[in-house]
Structure 1
Amino acid sequence: MVFAGALTAGAVTGSLPDTAQARRLDANSRSAEAGRATGKPRPEDVRRAAAEAMAKGESPTEAAEQAVSRSGDRWAAVYSEDEYAEFRDALDGEYTGVGLWAKRARDGKVTVSRVRSHSPAADAGIREGDRLRSVDGHGVDGRPVTEVVSLLRGNADDASAGTPVTVGIQRGADSWSRTLYRARLSTDPVTVTDPVAGVVVVRVSAFTKGSAKAVRDAVRRAPAGAGVVLDLRGNSGGLVTEAVATASCFLDGGLVATYDVDGAQRALHAASGGDTARPLVTLVDGGTMSAAELLTGALQDRGRAVVIGSRTFGKGSVQMPTALPDGSVAELTVGHYRTPSGHAVDGRGITPDLEPGPSALKRAETVLTGLGDPR
């Protein structure tokens, strides 16, 4: 839950890649240019404010939160040391939680958007679509998803596997409470199904470490001539390096995205050797965010995939993690990505090639049939 919630809140857009080279790349891309141009606090400003507060015997974390709140940066966040450690674990493909994903509707109500199989939430009978009313007696209506995540995780003393958390659930006219016990769970971000002959559906729920390899393995195992549906619906992002590596599964090198650093344009490129012949459809929706949008834009602009669905979320920004004196971490938006054709994603999203119709998957199967027709 902490992982999904963090991503849903947009806390990751390539800020924590999984190789030293990529870490240097992202550190370069997250320059202070945006701060200088807009007057928003730069990472060094937040760090300085935290250090000055600590020297006065005040809370560095609170000082950082105040600086972030003044920034007007909708994606900025401050994490405690424990929260950030859990966050890093999530990007490595593991997290401690109850195995449910949540989203907040426009009316402020929080609903369960997904339940991981064989998780504490699934074992308790919680289902997708249930309303989450409370966590340990705290009402969650109107709260940001990040706060709901924090309640589900607990504080530093009770956020470990085996600790209890009581959730209030409503389904239709029925409501009840269940005490769940947190567990160490793997994110399992990639699932593969074969709903019809000649079509393989590869669903990527998040770009955690190893997700690109799982996609590549699925493509290589697919029968010769079979089309692929890359389902990125509800994928709220993750590691940009994994998204680029996933693009490499379908491209033979070339541009994936660009970004600016101190006025100079930089670029991310796919590796050579991807499968460029297999028919490909990408499914997206309003929950497709961040690194998932970067991948979608690359495949669409490069003419590699037909994109089906609804307009994506529109989060094309990059956050930089800044370590504070007390071990907490502040993140500020410091850059924005563009697709190969120069399309700015942030605040705009990506417009699909085709609408989904009654069933996005059925439409994808129809499109793949046409793409695979040698006539």
Structure 2
Amino acid sequence: MKRAGSTPNTPLWRSIILATCCFTASGLALAQPMPDASQDSTRVEIKLPDPEEQLPLDDLRKFTEVFSRIKDAYVEEVSDTQLLESAIKGMLSDLDPHSTYLAPKDYEELEESTSGEFGGLGIEVGMENGFVKVISPIDDTPAQKAGVQAGDLIIKLNEKPVKGMALEEAVNLMRGKPGTVLTLTIMREGESAPVEIDVTRDVIKVTSVKSRIIENGYGYVRITQFQAETGRQFRKALTDLEAEHGSTLDGLVIDLRNNPGGVLQAAVETADALLDEGLIVYTEGRIQSSRLRFSARAGDLMTSTPIVVLINGGSASASEIVAGALQDHGRAVVMGTQSFGKGSVQTVIPLDETHAIKMTTARYFTPDGRSIQATGIKPDIEVRPAELKELASQPFFTEADLSGHLEGENEQEAREQREKAANAEASAADRDYQLRSALNLLKGMSIFNSKNSSKAQGSDQ
């Protein structure tokens, strides 16, 4: 019978101690300068520091004690591999919500998500108080079409409670064969009772950048997620919009709402397309390789075009980098609601061909030195989502409606313009309130700039 607190005399314990000593010795030996070839090697002394100062041996003994007791007494037999992988997962998951161990399937899925095609529901999720929280649904995916919203707390997956479940386990349950249905039970702010939403799984193909002319002279670019090709696609979208309009745009809306982030380099390239110079973002971490600075190259693709960037609570990470950079440089007006506040950088470190760890290695800062970790980007103009409803009113009579009125010089043209405006007004009412607010702001900026330009030309004559 083993005495409580005794060191287990097992092959595993001996292997760990041996591996620890070998690691310590070899690592320290490599750190020493190589002896000069002219010296007698017998007189070269390489002093190895005390292992007690390099590794927490008492804590390692505690770990092996727990390992041994689980192996001996757990209700079911557990393999060494399973226990060691669980220990690795625990080390990382206890650091922060974004650090994790990537087993082969997880590693593969991460690569798929950054390339733009993967299977599942189409939501970016995290953990909050033991529940799965929706950071944002991705555009044109089953979850978004079914009505899942940013901020929803998932409390059940089918009939299985989420409380106490690891995020990795929850994500695995959400993935599945395309065409199968998963019932999400969610708690939503403003709802007194849980809401059930049925979502049909599908192969998720994310279109990173979408663009269109929303009104004559005003462009709209929606970035759903930052992937490897997003920077290039964004630049192409800008040139295509100007080609479609036939000249420089009067205004541009960049929609980053419910954009969960993605590849850091893609965010840098996107901001760079609209800046001539200056810092875009910098990162600070403990190791030298995590201290990076990204600056803009000359060449703003839309130098004279006013820009509004839309954000909300589902805008995270890379989308916050873009919004923060354009805001600090005064290149765009940021509108909407406060962003998510994920201001940390994760690095994927491969362990071998099929395993890796994703670990938080740095915090990122906007050009003005703002860390947005847990605080987010505050919009310049706060505009909350709202439903647009036109008030019923009697039409006004005008001079043109009076019988026998004096005919105007451009009466027919004016009538056509009124009809066109009425139709445009009806279509605008169908759009979301935040987008309409952005468009109205751009129109005001365009009118203001046009009048100032006219006055300046008049004073020069």
| Global fold match (TM > 0.5) | yes
Structure 1 residue 346: Cα displacement: 1.4
> Once the two structures are superposed, what CA deviation does each residue of 1:92-139 show, in whole Å capped at 9, x if it has no partner?
11111244667889895877964754x6668xx833459967545423
> Whose helix fraction is larger, Structure 1's or Structure 2's?
2
The answer to whether the 8 A contact 1:91-1:239 is kept is: yes
Greater Rg, structure 1 or structure 2? 2
Residue 101 of structure 2 is aligned to residue 88 of structure 1: no
Question: Which residue is 2:251 aligned to?
Answer: 227
Which of 297, 306, 317 matches 1:271? 297
C-alpha displacement at 1:270, in angstroms? 2.3
Matches within 5 A, 1:114-133: 114=137, 117=140, 126-128=146-148
Residue in 1 aligned with 2:435?
361
Structure 1 Cα separation of the partners of residues 169 and 445 of structure 2: 45
Post-superposition Cα deviations, 1:219-266, rounded to whole Å, max 9, x if no partner, equal: 112222331111111111100111011012211243101123557653
Q: What residue is the counterpart of 1:139 in the other structure?
A: 161
Asked whether 1:63 is paired with 2:87, we answer yes
AA of the residue aligned to 1:366: N
Q: Tell me which amino acid in the other structure corresponds to 1:341.
A: D
Instruction: Decide whether aligned partners of structure 1 residues 82 and 280 sit closer, same or farther in structure 2, where only a CA change above 3 A counts.
Output: same
- 1:74 is aligned to 97
Q: 2:313 aligns with which of 276, 286, 299?
A: 286
Structure 1 residue identity aligned to 2:116: G
Residues 332 and 274 of structure 1: is their aligned pair in 2 closer, same or farther, counting only changes over 3 Å? same
Q: Is the 8 A contact 1:207 1:238 kept in 2?
A: yes
> Is 1:149 the equivalent of 2:171?
yes
What are the superposed Cα offsets for residues 282-314 of structure 1, whole Å, 9 maximum, x if unpaired? 111122111111111110111110111222222
Q: One-letter code of the match for 1:235?
A: N
Structure 1 match to 2:225? 206
- Distance in 2 between residues matched to 1:314 and 1:284, nearest whole Å: 12
What SS does the corresponding residue of 1:95 show, helix, strand or coil? strand
Alignment of 1:173-192 (within 5 A): 180=200, 182-192=201-211
CA distances 1:320-372 after superposition (whole Å, capped 9, x unpaired): 22334693322221111111111112122222111115532222112212332
User: 1:239 pairs with 263, 279, 284, which one?
Assistant: 263
Query: Structure 1 residues 112 and 304 mapped into 2: Cα distance closer, same or farther (>3 Å)?
Result: closer
Q: Does the CA-based 8 Å contact 2:122-2:142 persist in structure 1? A: yes
Q: Secondary structure at the match of 1:312?
A: coil
Residue range with higher mean Cα deviation, 288-297 or 103-112 = 103-112
C-alpha distance in 2, partners of 1:279/1:227? Answer: 5
CA distance in 2 between partners of 1:263 and 1:208 (Å): 26
Report the alpha carbon displacement of residue 164 of structure 1 after superposing the two structures with TM.
Answer: 3.9
Residue 110 of structure 1 contacts residue 140 of structure 1 at CA under 8 Å; is this kept in 2?
no
Which whole-Å CA distance do the structure 1 matches of 2:80 and 2:347 have between them? 26
Question: Larger deviation: 89-98 or 251-260?
Answer: 251-260
> TM-score normalised to the size of structure 1?
0.70
CA shift in 2, pair 1:121/1:367, >3 Å: closer
Following the alignment from structure 1 to structure 2, what is the Cα–Cα distance between the partners of residues 109 and 330?
21
Paired positions, count: 312
CA gap 1:164/1:80 in 2 versus in 1, 3 angstroms: farther
* Alignment-mate amino acid for residue 334 of structure 1: T
CA RMSD of aligned residues (A): 3.7
Q: What amino acid maps onto 1:354 in structure 2?
A: I
Provide the C-alpha distance between the structure 1 equivalents of 2:372 and 2:250, rounded to a whole number of angstroms: 31
Structure 1 SS opposite 2:381 = coil
Matched, 1:371 2:445: yes
Residue 311 of structure 1 pairs with residue 327 of structure 2: no
The 5 Å alignment of 1:94-105 reads 94-99=117-122
2:327 and 2:334 in contact (8 A); partners too: yes
1:370 maps to a residue whose letter is G
Distance 2:134 2:336 in 1: 22
TM-score normalized by the length of structure 2: 0.58
- Identify if the C-alpha distance between structure 1 residues 326 and 340 changes in structure 2 by more than 3 Å, giving closer, same or farther: closer
Contact 2:138/2:258, CA 8 A, preserved across alignment: no
The equivalent of 1:215 in structure 2 is 234
Counterpart contact for 1:61–1:326, Cα < 8 Å:
no
Q: Within 2, Cα distance between the matches of 1:116 and 1:342?
A: 32
Distance 1:230 1:176, change over 3 A: closer
Looking at structure 2, the residues matched to 270 and 73 of structure 1 have their Cα atoms a distance apart, in angstroms, of: 31
Match of 1:194 in 2: 213
- Larger relative contact order (C-alpha < 8 A, sep ≥ 6)? 1
SS at match of 2:146: coil
